[in-house]
Amino acid sequence: MAKIAVIGLGYVGITTAVGMGRLGHDVIGYDISSDRVMVLSEAKAPIHEDGLEEALGSLKQSGKVSFTHTYQEVSDFKADYFFICVPTPQDASGAANLTFVLAAAKELSQIAPADAIVVLKSTVPVGSGERVKQALSRSDLHVASNPEFLREGSALHDFMKPDRIIVGAASEQVSTRVLELYGDISSRKIATSVESAELIKYSTNAYLAMRLSFVNDLAALCEKVGASVDDLVDGLGSDSRIGPSFLSPGPGWGGSCFPKDTRALVSVASDFGLDLPLIDAALESNEASLSRVVENIKELAGGSLEGKVIGVWGLAFKANTDDIRESPAMNIVARLLARGSEVIAFDPVALAPKASGFSQVQNAELAAAGVDVLAVLTEWPEFAQVDPIKVSESMKSKAVMDARRVLPVDAWRSAVDNFRVLGG
């Protein structure tokens, strides 16, 4: 079994640490935040992720995974592999900022034993492997790229049952060593160059984002021509060349990856003098999707948003997570506030910062009381269980926009005066 250090304990790092521990490896997780390390050391989950707390609990008992906020302890651990999982935020131009990655590489250059492999899990633009190699500046260390494809909310499941495992490295010997860490996982394992691995990650996210923009544009067309978007998606996804997953229309795509990675890919291409017009169009289409939802709410509010009270169900960027980074719901709420509306929101787990300019209440019913329009912006399944008759009785105007297609249409249509569902 290998000794693995995981640097950075966000979604990717925590999942990697827990996943590698489950595969039987000895793991130390490092994060700069002592608070986060303390929480994890007590086997508590600092993020909302299915099964994470149970997994942390059993790994704590077996002693397979420990956490630290000092590089000294990482050094003492004498790992053979160092997984860099720190954030790569977007800078003003849309490019990925490598400050944290390169800072981690500098630290590792001081402590990594000879022949160790530094594995990049953070999403980094093509060419970053080379920059990390320079930051390490040690010929006895190796660099590999092992992009993650984890979805928040099902990250542990995705780690243990991935569609494929990609490892990019300069030599077959290094890629084989990294792939062997995943020995017990039966998924297809693909060894590539570092550059190809880096590009596979970006192109996967950009392709999925384009696919959603395509579906969201067609949902808008369905509304206009009276077609059913459910039937359209069913028919489209039944073509085996297209496939049925990842085709649910929504208010727009968001989260910590898609917006950042699509912009970063466009930025990398432009550094090489290339335009990527399809990806540009996907970003533009996403803006249009978000605007369409706001326009729908405006129409339901009687043609103006000024002074109207809008109830919002859902703030997270998707269901089953507490993450609001680049959330379409938060984006739409900001647009409503900018146009003079008051917003009362409910989310089962996500919390917006106090200074966001709107109030957050404890349950779905409270977020509908006295409102001019109720908008459903995240697809939490529990919203479908709320009684539409009870809710409609407390609304000021009985107008509802379901931008996630989660509410039972017939029940809501008969309970309220005006019910709109994205995609018609």
Helices (H), 161-239: 172-181, 194-225, 229-237
Task: Give the nearest distance from C-beta 201 to ligand UDX in angstroms.
Answer: 8
The CA dihedral of 393, 399, 402, 405, to the nearest 10 degrees, is: 70
70 scored as a contact of ligand UDX (CB under 6 A): no
Q: What sign has the CA pseudo-torsion 390, 394, 397, 403?
A: negative
Task: Give the nearest distance from C-beta 27 to ligand UDX in angstroms.
Answer: 20
253 scored as a contact of ligand UDX (CB under 6 A): yes
259 scored as a contact of ligand UDX (CB under 6 A): no
Q: Which one of the listed residues 120, 206, 232, 257 is annotated catalytic?
A: 257
State how far Cα 292 lies from the chain centre: 23
Nearer to ligand UDX, 21 or 254 (CB): 254
Position 333: which residue type?
V
Distance CA 109, CA 103 (A): 10
Task: Give the nearest distance from C-beta 253 to ligand UDX in angstroms.
Answer: 4
Binding mask 17-56 for ligand UDX (x = CB under 6 A): ----------------------------------------
161 scored as a contact of ligand UDX (CB under 6 A): no
Task: Give the nearest distance from C-beta 4 to ligand UDX in angstroms.
Answer: 20
Region near ligand UDX per CB under 6 A, out of 249-257, 278-286, 334-342, 348-356: 249-257
Burial class of residue 4, CB neighbours in 10 A (0-12, 13-18, 19+): buried
Among 83, 258, 383, 412, binds ligand UDX (CB under 6 A): 258
Position of minimal CB gap to ligand UDX: 257
Distance CA 135, CA 120 (A): 13
Distance CA 389, CA 392 (A): 5
Confirm whether 257 is a catalytic residue: yes
Distance CA 151, CA 101 (A): 21
Task: Give the nearest distance from C-beta 80 to ligand UDX in angstroms.
Answer: 25
Among 81, 149, 159, 358, binds ligand UDX (CB under 6 A): 149
Would you call 120 helix, strand, or coil by DSSP?
A: strand
152 scored as a contact of ligand UDX (CB under 6 A): yes
Task: Answer whether 145's CB lies under 8 Å from 129's CB.
Answer: yes
Distance CA 290, CA 392 (A): 25
Interacting positions 219-248 with ligand UDX (CB under 6 A): 246-248
* Residue 324, beta-bridge partner list: none
List, as one string, the DSSP characters of 318-368: STT----TT-HHHHHHHHHHHTT-EEEEE-SS----GGGSSEE-SSTTTTT
Among 16, 122, 175, 205, binds ligand UDX (CB under 6 A): 205
Region near ligand UDX per CB under 6 A, out of 81-89, 124-132, 146-154, 174-182: 146-154
Q: Could you tell me the end-to-end alpha-carbon distance of the chain, in angstroms, rounded to an integer? A: 54
Task: Give the nearest distance from C-beta 199 to ligand UDX in angstroms.
Answer: 15
250 scored as a contact of ligand UDX (CB under 6 A): yes
Q: Write down the residue that tokens 């609990």 correspond to.
A: 57
Q: Write down the residue that tokens 């996500």 correspond to.
A: 350
Task: Give the nearest distance from C-beta 136 to ligand UDX in angstroms.
Answer: 25
Nearer to ligand UDX, 182 or 308 (CB): 182
Among 74, 136, 150, 156, binds ligand UDX (CB under 6 A): 150
Nearer to ligand UDX, 3 or 151 (CB): 151
Nearer to ligand UDX, 23 or 247 (CB): 247
Residues that bind ligand UDX (CB under 6 A): 148-152, 205, 212, 246-248, 250, 253-258, 317-318, 328
Active site positions, annotated: 257
